[in-house]
Amino acid sequence: MTRHPLHVQASRFLVVGLFAAVVDFGSLVALMAFGVEHTPAKACSFLLGTCTAYLLNRRWTFVAGRSARRFIQVLVLYGCTFVVQVGLFAVCFPLVADWSGSFVTAQVVGFVIAQAVASVFNFLLQRLVIFRSVD
């Protein structure tokens, strides 16, 4: 397996991230529509989006085979990302809702802020640490 250059990995990471964000945000909106509170809804939607992103990034973005070590590293990374993303959403959602008076605006703005910070964090650690070399 050959490691792709930075621009290819970044482009693929962006495509995968956009797809995973659709899964994440769609799940968030659906769960909240069914009455799940914003923080547990974000926690569940994060897990769905994260599983999607990991599977696609491992195979397509970083072209890496299965590895127990890498899987454990990804679990630790996503655990940290979970805290960052759900925490940022938990802070942003009520602030934006109070400021804007709009539930939908609060969902979108809170999601975008949390997703953007988590995405940069994830890409850098995956490229520089977890997938720095391929099998």
**DSSP 8-state assignment for residue 61:** I
88 close to 114: Cβ distance less than 8 angstroms: yes
Would you state the pLDDT for residue 99? 95
The CA distance from 58 to 56, in Å, is: 6
Question: What is the pTM (predicted TM-score) of this model?
Answer: 0.75
Amino acid letter at 81?
T
The CA distance from 50 to 126, in Å, is: 13
109 close to 96: Cβ distance less than 8 angstroms: yes
pLDDT digit string (tens) for the chain, length 135 residues: 567 888 999 999 999 999 999 999 999 999 999 999 988 998 999 899 988 988 899 899 988 888 888 888 988 998 998 899 889 999 999 999 999 999 999 999 999 999 899 889 889 998 888 888 654
